[in-house]
Amino acid sequence: MNKIKSKKEKRYQVILTTVMVLIMLITVYPVWYSLINSLNSAQDISKNGFAMLLPGEFSLDSWKSVLKNPEIFRAFGITLSRTVIVTILQTLFTSMFAYGFSRENLTGKKFYTAIGFLSMYLNGGVIAYFILFSALHIYNTYWVYIIPCLFGGFYNVIIFNTNYKAIPDSLFESAKIDGASEYTVFFRIVIPLSKPVISALGIFTAVGTWNDYSQTLYYTKSSEIQTLSYYMLSITKSSASAAQLGETMSAGASSVLTTMSNSAANYKTIELACMVLSALPLIIIYPFAQKFFEKGVMVGSVKG
Amino acid sequence: MKKSKKKGFRPGYDRATQFQLHTLMLPGTILMLMFSVVPLFGLLLAFKNYKVIEGIKGVFTSPWYGFQNFKIIFGNFDFRRMLTNTLGINLIGNLVGILAAIGFALFINEISRARFKSVVQTVTYMPHFISWVVFGSIVITLLSGDGGLFNQILLKLGVIKTPIVFMAQPRYFWAIAILSNLVKELGWSTILYTAAISGVDQELYEAADLDGASRIQKMRYVTLPSIKGTIVIMIIFAVAGIMNNNFDQIFVLQNPFNIERSEVIDTYIYKVGMQQLQFGMAAAVNIFKSILAIILLGMANFVSNKLTDNGLF
């Protein structure tokens, strides 16, 4: 940049920085809002409304009742174990499939391509899965979280495939000359060379599994096997409808600032604490996992 | 390998190698057949008069029903309402979302300090990884009529006299769904555009500088034309996905008060199929949705091939 422009440039950068900081504040604020209100006392919320910047009256009551709740603990355990098992096995099975699929000398490739694209573009729908899971006797069991989720879909196969194709052929050839089997080639050469894509897709699977609630909503009915996300959904739904009913009534009385009753506010702070708890693992691993995200999307974008 | 050479086979096609490759693919193949291909028989239900008690055999043995399921659905008042909502939320949401993402990506690219740039990206990607249950409940709390942030601000500014119960009023629903999705996904949706922008040849900018191009002119005549391909592909995906509402989002924000503006195709399938157990009708809606999606994908691709020589296939 030349010197005449530099002053203008500086001012421009200041404005740009301000706008960017504002956008960052807007994206972070919702999480901050739920954190401070989960740490706020219910009395304060029912008196002054929800806190905006800092807790009006600091209190750990809601966190205490969340951490004491056995239902939440169970849901946490189910979600955690499910996420770990599905992430490991799904990444393994999908990358294994993709390795076979990426080899030029694979016979019967047409068959695999056919079922792959069929599964990618067509979907039997919720009802078909309901009937199938009932027939397999995994409906309303813990297995419904695991078995149907062990394959990452053909789209991920394509992503792995693109990566495997980038591995130089000479590596495979020299391994074969040394008498290595396909298993050895896959586990000793391909996997170590594909760490970035494996981590990226693994993280996406883990986040998706952790956040998923539809599997619980569609294919289970007993509360013993509900996931954390589903538990959140059910308390959000019940508190929202309770609050709205209350509101429509009090709005009719035309008071200037309607606030919640003490018990409703108490319920709300517990809900918020629960929300923060379920988002916490993601927020903690986020900075470490972040560098893989971009890679993960990039490998997706180069699919041919 | 030696053996196969003797028989005149090419290397790598011997029995042992093929066996090893196919066994590596076995778990994936079984899972795909079982959980992707077999459920496709469920599409038959749309043309059948199926009852839940009939179990999995009933999918094949229950009596044919012709297009009766489709007739019932298309004649239903709910159906037209939810089609309007699906298309409305998606069309406006995609338009706003794509424009915002391109704009944001252009300005992220303008940041000169690399460190600050990556901070902006890291922070704005974050909400993408929070579940819709959590994000949706936060939105509901922010909009609450009992002392939620928006009502507190509007009351203090004197814009309104009594709090608005946003979530219970159907007319706000589209805006809530579109804007909450924008806040959650804005950062993440720029990722492909920023990648495309970083691949633009720097010499083009230097040449533009020599010609005395302004900042806006450089965006308009250098950056945008260079990332045209990415933009077109994103638009094709958006058009093809127009029947796919984000079930996770809509279902969390939906309640009995705003249902007339919040019922979309996926929540409708859930309601008809899983709650009312009208399996045939739910399957019919699903088929309708899939066919429309394939037609839209083909059309978007055709149009973009004609207009820009850029297409998916």
Name the 3-class secondary structure at A276. helix
pLDDT of B263: 92
- The number of residues making up chain B comes to 313
Rounded Cα gap, residues A210 and B131, in angstroms: 8
ipTM: 0.85
Cβ atoms of B146 and B163 closer than 8 Å: yes
Q: Quick check: A256 pLDDT over 50?
A: no
- DSSP 8-class letter at B162: S
pLDDT of B98: 94
Residues of chain A with C-beta less than 8 angstroms from the C-beta of B144: 50, 243, 247
Residues of chain A with C-beta less than 8 angstroms from the C-beta of B183: 26-27, 30
Structure-block tokens of residue B169: 């009023």
**Least trusted range by pLDDT, from A198-207, A226-235, A261-270, B60-69:** A261-270
Mean pLDDT for the stretch of residues B3-24: 75
Task: Pick the residue from chain B with its C-alpha nearest to A15.
Answer: B111
Mean pLDDT for the stretch of residues B22-50: 92
Rounded Cα gap, residues A5 and B112, in angstroms: 14
Mean pLDDT for the stretch of residues B156-166: 86
Structure-block tokens of residue B14: 């011997």
What is the pTM assigned to this prediction?
0.86
Mean pLDDT for the stretch of residues B283-294: 88
CB interface of B with A, residues 62-101, below 8 Å: none
Of A101, A132, A176, nearest to B56 by CB-CB distance is A132
Q: Check B133 against A211: CB less than 8 A apart.
A: yes
pLDDT of B100: 95
- Average pLDDT score over chain A: 84
Q: Check B133 against A294: CB less than 8 A apart.
A: no
Terminal Cα-to-Cα distance of chain A (whole angstroms)? 39
Mean pLDDT for the stretch of residues A53-73: 85
Q: Which residues, at least 6 apart from A216, have a Cβ–Cβ distance to it below 8 Å?
A: A145, A225, A226, A227, A229, A230
Q: What CA–CA distances, in Å, run from A248 to A176, B157, B165? A: 74, 23, 8
Instruction: Give yes or no for A304 touching B (CB within 8 A).
Output: no
Rounded Cα gap, residues B292 and A195, in angstroms: 39
Mean pLDDT for the stretch of residues A67-96: 93
H-helix or E-strand spanning residue B40: none
pLDDT of B5: 45
Helices (H), B65-113: 68-74, 77-110
Question: Mind giving me the DSSP string for A33-58?
Answer: HHHHHHTB-HHHHHHH-S-SSS-SSB
Structure-block tokens of residue A112: 């695999």
Name the 3-class secondary structure at B48. strand
